[in-house]
Structure 1
Amino acid sequence: MRTIGYAAYSSEAKMMPYHFERRALRDNDVAIEILYSGVCHSDLHTVNGDWGSQPYPLVPGHEIVGRVIEVGALVKKYKVGDNVAVGCMVDSCQDCDQCHDHEEQFCRHGMTATYGAPDRITDEITQGGYSKHIIVREEFVLNMPVDLDLSKSAPILCAGITTYSPLKHWGVTKGSRVAVIGLGGLGHMGVKLALALGAKVTVISRSDSKKEVVDALGAKGILVSKDSEAMRKATASFDFILDTIPTKHNVDIYTPLLDVNGALVLVGQVGPIDEVNVGTLIMGRRQIAGSLIGGIKETQEVLDFCAKHQIYPECKMIQPSEINEAFAHLAEGDVAYRFVMDMSALDNA
């Protein structure tokens, strides 16, 4: 299938239009016309080579909402015209213990990422959602609930599942005392999802400049991390802390806020953090952990959950031709919304 997208041709180059061929439809494949593609901060890190060299030219994008235009002969779950979604992975071995446990993101043989990874059969490099079409194995295509607004839903496929999965894994439920560090693209989704799960949510920030936003979301308020007295008074106040800071930082100022058996889970920074004072952990049986995304079953769960509670990321709609400006904005800091590209503007002539 001939298609068009926006690709990075090197780590220093601007995103540019890119014509390329999608693979031929296999019997278990679904062909999708992409309607909306979310822009994730990890896309910027990847194309910049921050996490290692990349197989350029590279089409990013793993927050994909679209419509089925063709199905393979063995596909049973989807038909032409269905509204569907694709997240951060498009394949796995389907045979290891993790895949059998619906944790394909931890496939023992390595999941196949939506872009920048070798195809499990042909070894050709996968290309992502900054494009007009995509072809994905049926098991990794998600159903879009009828109650979800397609134009606002793409970031649920990454920001949504990245925050929902640890909330569920660490048992956040009604009455849980939750803190979310940061109110950017990940943080604001963490707040919305934790509130919908019934938690009592506080935002931790360096200032109270976003107090009106926090109040509007329904959180208890802001705990200012630079206010040493307020932080001292908040000792042992939380059962769970979701840390969305996307850069190297010191977690020691946050771990005392955990109650006994509490957990601080990192979902923002991919890389080193400052040296940790283990004494604080030992004295309260506290833990520091990390979380990736969720499996396909859990990603479908968060889509259905968001539909039920009408939870959407804060989105700013852009045209594909504006992707370089969006990247520049992301590079300046973690914005409090997610960019979403309207792919209907992408000419496939």
Structure 2
Amino acid sequence: MTETMRIVHQETLGGPDVLRLIETERPAPEPTEILVEVRAAGVNPVDWKVRQEGRWLTPPFAVGWDVSGVVAAVAPGESRLSVGDEVYGMPRFPAPAGGYAEYVTGSSRHFALKPKSLDHVAAAALPLAALTAWQALVDIAQVGAGHRVLIHAAAGGVGHLAVQIAKAHGAYVIGTASAAKHEVLHELGADELIDYTVQDFAELVRDVDVVLDLIGGEYEDRSLPTLRPGGLLINVVNPFDVEQTATKAAAVGARGTAVLVAPDHAALERLAALAEEGKLRPLIAATFPLEKAAKAHELGESSRTTGKIVLTT
């Protein structure tokens, strides 16, 4: 194991061109942490939003949270995982983790054993997006058999996983997506699909129990009439606007909340179980080598992909 590593780093905020591949000292795990040799790193919208706007981080920093790889070292106090274990996870979020790198460190409880049925590319596509869907639909909404769930941007990174998670829990799943993406979404379990380019979901959908809003903006207001009395609107795009979402929903006799994803090894284990059962399959839109991280961001920001973009080391 070398003492240095490659990592995608940025000194300033800005477009994809601010991402630079540099060589730096390999990190060492602190007590209760593990060191993971990264084989693949998932790319998420939050990555390019932080890259461009900083959000809660001030440069210089390194973006990226989703990783899949092999445990390379274990610090004192760690007993869950061992050197050689294949793991996947979302370390440190929302603190910087530097996931676009050859090595990362993090609490062992931010990782779980990688699903054996998935390679590292597929596993790296899961953590942030699948945990977002899980925490919204399972932890908050407690979706179950017979529930009607409307998922906006159903073919996106979070959306296509949310479709499968809702379906695995017995829900009737309605999704909004362009017509070209309907076939694959039906294969993933969607029961009803609306082509937002030619159809208005607000006129076609009623009496849903849960709306998972992955678009924001006007979609939040237009989604309110689709809810049954007491139904739940979950805002994923602007999680810090939870009070505004709750107020709007209350005005129509519904409920509103928001979710900001958090590391959760127990949920990762349950997601891995779904993958092993064949009930959760991440779609990979494209892969890029680590040095092409800027190209990966350019593609992601185009909003024309189905599924996830992944970097390989």
TM score, norm. by length of structure 1 = 0.78
Change (3 A) 1:19 1:114: farther
Bigger radius of gyration: 1
Deviation at 1:278, TM superposition (A): 5.8
Of 71, 96, 100, the match for 1:68:
71
Change (3 A) 1:278 1:227: farther
1:299 and 1:266 map into 2 onto residues whose CA distance is 22
The alignment-based identity, stated in percent, is: 20
Change (3 A) 1:222 1:5: same
1:250 and 1:243 map into 2 onto residues whose CA distance is 7
- Structure 2: runs of 5 or more not aligned: none
Of 86, 107, 120, the match for 1:137:
107
1:40 partner amino acid: N
Of 46, 51, 55, the match for 1:42:
46
Of 233, 257, 274, the match for 1:289:
257
C-alpha distance after superposition, 1:70-123 (max 9, x if no partner):
22233222222111123042xxxxxxxxxxxxxxxxxxxxxx6351xxxxxxxx
Change (3 A) 1:23 1:233: closer
2:255 partner amino acid: Q
Q: Is 1:252 matched with 2:221?
A: yes
Deviation at 1:46, TM superposition (A): 0.6
SS in 2 for 1:9: coil
SS in 1 for 2:268: helix
The number of aligned residues is 303
Runs of 4 or more, structure 1, over 4 Å off, are 270-273, 275-280
SS in 2 for 1:309: coil
Between 1:70-79 and 1:185-194, the stretch displaced more is 70-79
SS in 1 for 2:117: coil
SS in 1 for 2:270: helix
Of 293, 308, 312, the match for 1:323:
293
Deviation at 1:209, TM superposition (A): 4.2
Change (3 A) 1:55 1:276: closer
C-alpha distance after superposition, 1:190-221 (max 9, x if no partner):
1121112221111124x544332333323122
- Structure 1: runs of 5 or more not aligned: 90-111, 116-126, 344-349
Change (3 A) 1:153 1:253: same
TM score, norm. by length of structure 2 = 0.86
SS in 2 for 1:210: helix
Q: Is 1:81 matched with 2:84?
A: yes
Deviation at 1:223, TM superposition (A): 2.8
1:323 and 1:280 map into 2 onto residues whose CA distance is 39
1:10 partner amino acid: T
1:188 and 1:132 map into 2 onto residues whose CA distance is 28
1:198 is aligned to 170
2:192 is aligned to 221
Deviation at 1:222, TM superposition (A): 1.7
Deviation at 1:272, TM superposition (A): 6.1
Residues 1-349 of structure 1 mapped to structure 2, 5 A cutoff = 1-12=3-14, 13-51=17-55, 54-56=58-60, 58-89=61-92, 113-115=94-96, 127-169=97-139, 170-182=141-153, 183-205=155-177, 207-225=178-196, 227-228=199-200, 231-236=202-207, 238-245=208-215, 247-269=216-238, 281-283=250-252, 285-294=253-262, 295-315=264-284, 316-333=286-303, 335-343=305-313
Residues 89, 268 of structure 2: 8 Å contact kept: no
SS in 1 for 2:222: coil
Residues 192, 311 of structure 1: 8 Å contact kept: yes
